[in-house]
Chains A and B, each alone.
Chain A
Amino acid sequence: MSNRMDTIWSKLDRKSTAIAEFTMRQYRTRISTWAVLGAASVAIFLMLLFYIEAMNTEIEAIDNDGDSFDTDGDGYPDGQERLEGTNPESDQSFPDWVEPDPPEKWINEDDIDWDTLSDGENYVGQDDDGDCENLDTGSQRDTNDNNRECDVVVTIDELNGTINIDADSNVDEDPDEDKYGKEAGHRAFILGIGKFGIVYLLGIFLPLFLATGLIREEMNDGTIHYMLAKPIARGEVLLYRMLGYIGITWPFIIGLCITMALITGFTGPGDGVFRWGDIGVWMTIAWAAMLVSLVYGTIFCGFGIIWKNGVILAILFAAWELGMAFVAILSGGDSSIRYFSVIGWGMIIVDSGVAVCWPDNWQLIQSGLWGGGQGEENWLGEMDYKPLPGAVPLDTFSADSNLGVSSWLAFVISSLVLVFQGVLSWFIGQSIFKGKEVD
């Protein structure tokens, strides 16, 4: 058996590995390779510093519902007076049968507890501080008129995916800013650095510097003649050179993502020592970056073959992709123009990873944007809720895959599309290479 494996391996281990190995060694001997990889690492880790700083800074708690105040000055916070049934606005009325609470107790007392929410079930929320339960009349306790007292109604419009939150008064109105902000900030950082920093920036800059000259530099130097004088089709040369390219870039991307996953996993918020739930998201980020850098690499290498200043074409292409990256991120997956790009599909991979690994992500976003129901009425008479810290960034960097299929299928489809784009770029590249006169 091992003998047979040896034979199979030695059959494969000829032209393809010879060129791939040669390419990798060539990269390793170039200072520019290390400069590009080094600069990319430094840039990503600098961003990480901001993250670590943010994770170690306490987010100031805000008294969203104002019940830590002692309006009447009788020593009892308003919340405690409401709970005990005395009048918070009269200094004559106070619960003298209990000791007054310190005001801090009434700052974060009614956290968002939508953990029970599931599809089809829209009764959520628990009146932790009792200031809804203690309201006098039934109609006061059921301001959203759904015949359930002190609940929150979350309606998901299946058609356009919008979410509407309608809470009875004083339910879930005072969430914990620090707890929420850390969780949302942590996720927003992973998605921001993952989608934009790793999948887009790394995905485009590594190939820009490392793949554009893959064939072109050899053509300029004249060293391509050695390779082309061998019984090997030019398409194969291109393919195996690309193998060498991914032999350098893929381990780098994987290594970077593992490092980032470890650092954020240990520093991130949560009860456990390590955030295992993030691993899948990091895996999809790495996978998306790998595929995207492969497709860009093949395209840029082709640009290099077409024209000696192919890097100009590559930069123009990168500009288009940058636009598409913004469209894909900012539209939250609602734009279909992103299908005409590479990065758009890369983002879908990450989005589907998020949907699988953080199934509560959309809920976290919505509760944060709702922010406990505190806010002001705008000129249209609608409520402008005051979002919790971290909710807006998390909302910005999260998106739906919007392919109309399950997350797993979206993952498979977008991966296949990227592979197809890569194969197509290779095919076009090798057709051009074949017809190219090499002087």
Chain B
Amino acid sequence: MMPDMTQHGKAETKDWKPVANTPVIMFDRVSKTYGRINALGGVSLGISGGVTGILGMNGAGKSTMFKLMMGKVKASSGAIRLFGTDPWKNPAPYSRVGFVPEHEKLHDWMTAFDFVTTFARLHGMTRDEAAGEAARVLSFVSLEDVMPKRIGQFSKGMRQRVKIAHALVNDPELIILDEPLQGCDPLARTTIMNVIKQLGAMGRTVLVSSHILHEIERITEQIVILHRGRVLALGNSHAIREMLDQHPHKIVIDCENPRELAKNFVDLEEVTGITFKTTNKLQIETKHLGEVHKKLPEIIVNSKQLVTGIDNPDDDLQSILMYLTGGSL
């Protein structure tokens, strides 16, 4: 591929000023194709402030969208503006951005502290400033105890938090997190979700991508649903949820004695049907998935049954998509 010689911007953050009165991120009819594959088709968006969840199944275009924002790939058509600047041509806006890539690879040979310090210096900080900031953000993501340890020894959740810390080191106004919860243990999940919520509360613009609706719902109400490179829905998750609730959902519970457990659900008005799938699987049908999920923990505890798994077989995102696309996925 021929190099694009139009890139010219210098990474001089001092001279660079964000354009006033413009959304933090603006996509104007942005398309991106890889050969014959249409990764993103005519997306228009403006996002400023608060936490926004980008929902979509694998291959829906979430990562492509982020790569376009981060100037890693060039839009096939349309315009992208980050603080009013085209990120493909000028890396200067990144002085106000923190990016947590999806890639799992990290510099395992570095300590968490070194990693964050090194990348802090790329924001133009001195060694001392970088060290101070690194300590600050690492304790923000609750990693202060393991700062001098090598990243290679970290669990998946800790690695995610190191990545988040490195992205926060410049105190960014915009934070982009590509699937930050993927593969994390419950504790790390909670920590990361709290960090994201906190950032939102601090007035930062946060973008979080995920393919699991529940996760996003625990973080934010503002969601964008991507499907096959297009924005399918945009807005408050409650509104979307309400549309969904008209449709029946299934919850499958793995337990020792499904019949015993089923007794606890019979009286619930939200439950519209109960089926015994196998000897240790109970299936509940409901139109109010959220309500049932709220009551589920209490019921399980009261039943004193050993529950080994809870699953929504028609994955909730998938069912939203089914609904929104009129059943053609």
Contact = CB atoms under 8 A, between A and B. Distances in A.
B319 to A, nearest CB: 31
Tell me which of B2, B93, B103 has the highest count of chain A C-beta atoms within 10 A of its own C-beta.
B103
A22 B91 CA distance: 20
A230 B73 CA distance: 15
A226 B101 contact: yes
Interface residues of A, number: 35
B119 interface: yes
A235 to B, nearest CB: 9
Main secondary structure of the interface of B (DSSP, over half): loop
Interface in A5-41: 10, 13-15, 17-19, 21-22, 25-26, 29
B3 A438 contact: no
B275 interface: no
A436 B98 CA distance: 22
Interface stretch (B64-72, B246-254, B296-304): B64-72
Contacts of B7: 234, 434-435
B3 A435 contact: yes
A231 interface: yes
A362 B62 CA distance: 70
A101 interface: no
A228 interface: yes
Contacts of A222: 101, 103-105
B243 interface: no
Contact of B103 (A15, A225, A227, A435): A225
A230 B101 contact: no
A225 B99 contact: yes
B4 A230 contact: no
B73 A439 contact: yes
A233 B72 contact: no
B91 A231 contact: yes
A59 interface: no
B268 interface: no
B124 A434 contact: no
B11 A236 contact: yes
Contact of B109 (A13, A29, A221): A29
A230 B72 contact: no
Main secondary structure of the interface of A (DSSP, over half): helix
A229 B71 CA distance: 8
A52 B105 CA distance: 49
Given A15-B121, A231-B91, A437-B73, A226 B166 contact: yes
A230 B1 contact: no
A26 B115 CA distance: 12
A139 interface: no
Contacts of A14: 121-122, 124-126
Given A18-B121, A223-B106, A223-B107, A231 B70 contact: no
Interface residues of B, number: 45
B142 interface: no
Contact of B127 (A13, A22, A236): A13
A228 to B, nearest CB: 6
B80 to A, nearest CB: 14
Contacts of B91: 228, 230-234
Contact of B122 (A19, A25, A433, A439): A19
B92 interface: yes
B31 interface: no
B11 to A, nearest CB: 4
Tell me which of B10, B16, B121 has the highest count of chain A C-beta atoms within 10 A of its own C-beta.
B121
Given A26-B107, A233-B10, A439 B94 contact: no
A221 B16 CA distance: 31
Nearest to B4: A435
Nearest to A18: B121
Contacts of A21: 118
A431 interface: yes
A227 B109 contact: no
Contact of B9 (A25, A233, A436): A233
A225 B101 contact: yes
B95 interface: yes
Contacts of B287: none
A228 B94 CA distance: 9
A221 B107 CA distance: 10
A232 B127 CA distance: 17
A17 B122 CA distance: 9
Interface string A298-329: 00000000000000000000000000000000
A432 interface: yes
B3 A434 contact: yes
Contacts of B4: 434-435
Nearest to A7: B126
Contacts of B105: 221-223
Contacts of B104: 222
Contacts of A438: 67, 72-73
B227 interface: no
A437 B5 CA distance: 13
B74 interface: yes
A223 B166 CA distance: 13
Contacts of A223: 103, 105-107
A26 B71 contact: no
B208 interface: no
A431 B3 contact: yes
Nearest to A28: B109
A231 B95 contact: yes
Contact of A229 (B16, B99, B125): B99
B197 interface: no
Contacts of B94: 229-232
A426 to B, nearest CB: 14
B123 interface: yes
Contacts of B125: 14
A229 B70 contact: yes
Contacts of A236: 11
Contacts of A228: 70-72, 91
Nearest to B100: A229
B239 to A, nearest CB: 33
A18 B133 CA distance: 15
Given A230-B94, A438-B67, A439-B72, 19 more contacts: A14-B122, A14-B125, A18-B119, A25-B110, A223-B107, A225-B103, A226-B119, A227-B119, A227-B122, A230-B122, A231-B11, A233-B9, A233-B91, A234-B7, A435-B1, A435-B3, A436-B1, A436-B3, A437-B74
26 contacts: A13-B126, A13-B127, A14-B121, A14-B124, A15-B122, A18-B118, A18-B121, A19-B122, A21-B118, A25-B110, A29-B109, A223-B107, A225-B101, A227-B119, A228-B70, A229-B99, A229-B167, A230-B119, A230-B123, A233-B9, A233-B10, A431-B3, A433-B3, A435-B1, A438-B73, A439-B72
Closest 4 CB pairs of A and B: A435-B3, A222-B103, A18-B121, A435-B4
